[in-house]
């Protein structure tokens, strides 16, 4: 049975897209069939980490949502990003369109979220995935609620910042009402001087959820600037090993 894993944060810029790409790649590299859907149609980002630009995407999730194609026609095999794939590894990416006109149309008109649900189901039926990752738009709207509702696992990313803490509380409350089977918190962009043990206790107590890790703000990630997948580029780096531990917690 495919597990649906949504990566979400209440506030923007926490690192959702980079973490989705890295976690999906780590899990795929271990021999799993992984799909990634870019549901952030208002602000698509994940295709860039896999080397796409607006001209190299043919059919996209937008075309499916506008009934111009089947979801399978918006599916791109990006397994080649893995240098050493195990037997059975695959990564399928369903990008959102990066064309300004398409983003403009989504912002003006929105789309029917029931179609998004059908798209997820078609993907699960057709691709025989082990894991489907959903990279989301920040905040809470109808399509986020849908993604959360369909998720087996919800990974909530937050920075060590009071505004993020407040927003995460709102999401956790809602996800509990929607009965998400498994929820984890992940802190990203922590500065060196932060007291990690104190923060862990504080967050686990406040939200009543396990903390999957505290990832540092790292110049190397900022320098890479979404031009690639950090953990594939630097597999021996301590950050890559920390992200690998998070991946294990997601799927265990
Ligand atoms: N641990 C980190 N250290 C330094 N920079 C980071 C780290 N994680 C992410 N970044 C940088 O933060 C920026 C935002 O990352 P990303 O696009 O993944 O966030 P996001 O949550 O998907 O944003 P949005 O809400 O806009 O979709 C990028 O420039 C990325 O390189
Ligand atoms: Mg993003």
- How many domains does one find in the chain? 1
- The pLDDT, as a whole number, for residue 54 is 92
In a mutational test of the pocket of ligand 1, which residue from 157, 221, 238 has the highest number of ligand atoms less than 8 Å from its CB? 221
pTM above threshold 0.85: yes
Mean pLDDT of the chain: 96
- The pLDDT, as a whole number, for residue 35 is 98
Distance 108 CA to ligand 1 centre (A): 26
CA distances from 8 to 14, 99, 114 (A): 9, 23, 20
Averaged pLDDT for residues 127-139: 96
In which domain, by residue range, is 39 found? 3-251
- The pLDDT, as a whole number, for residue 185 is 98
- The pLDDT, as a whole number, for residue 226 is 96
Provide, rounded to the nearest whole percent, the portion of the chain with pLDDT above 70. 100
Which residue's C-alpha comes closest to atom 8 of ligand 1? 15
Distance 156 CA to ligand 2 centre (A): 13
* pLDDT per residue as tens digits for the range 90-126: 999 999 999 999 999 999 999 999 999 999 999 999 9
- Give CA angle at 50 (49, 52), nearest 5°: 95
- The pLDDT, as a whole number, for residue 166 is 95
- The pLDDT, as a whole number, for residue 38 is 97
Residue with tokens 């686990």: 204
- The pLDDT, as a whole number, for residue 67 is 95
Which residue's C-alpha comes closest to atom 25 of ligand 1? 12
* pLDDT per residue as tens digits for the range 41-88: 999 999 999 999 999 999 999 999 999 999 999 999 999 999 989 999
Query: Which atom of ligand 1 lies at the shortest distance from residue 138's CA?
Result: 25
Provide, rounded to the nearest whole percent, the portion of the chain with pLDDT above 90. 97
CATH of the domain at 148: 3.40.50.300
């Amino acid at each position: 049975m495919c597990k649906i894993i949504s990566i979400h944060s209440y506030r923007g810029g926490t690192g959702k897209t980079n973490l989705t790409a890295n976690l999906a790649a780590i899990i795929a590299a271990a021999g799993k069939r992984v799909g990634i859907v870019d549901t952030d149609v208002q602000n698509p980002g994940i295709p860039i980490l896999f080397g796409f630009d607006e001209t190299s995407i043919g059919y996209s999730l937008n075309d499916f949502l506008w009934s111009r194609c089947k979801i399978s026609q918006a599916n791109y095999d990006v397994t080649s990003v893995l240098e050493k794939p195990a037997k059975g590894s695959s990564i399928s990416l369903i990008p959102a369109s990066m064309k300004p006109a398409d983003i403009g149309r989504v912002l003006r008109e929105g789309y029917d979220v029931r179609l998004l649900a059908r798209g997820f189901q078609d993907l699960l039926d057709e691709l025989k995935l082990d894991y489907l990752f959903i990279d989301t738009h920040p905040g809470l709207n109808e399509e986020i609620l849908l993604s959360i509702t369909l998720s087996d696992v919800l990974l909530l990313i937050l920075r060590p910042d009071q505004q993020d803490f407040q927003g995460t509380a709102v999401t956790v409350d809602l996800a509990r009402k929607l009965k998400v089977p498994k929820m984890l918190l992940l802190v990203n962009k922590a500065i060196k001087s932060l007291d990690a043990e104190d923060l862990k206790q504080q967050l686990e107590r406040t939200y009543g959820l396990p903390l999957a890790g505290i990832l540092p703000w790292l110049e190397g990630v900022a320098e890479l600037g979404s031009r690639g997948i950090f953990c594939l580029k630097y597999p021996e780096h301590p950050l890559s090993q920390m992200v690998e531990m998070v991946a294990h917690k997601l799927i265990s």
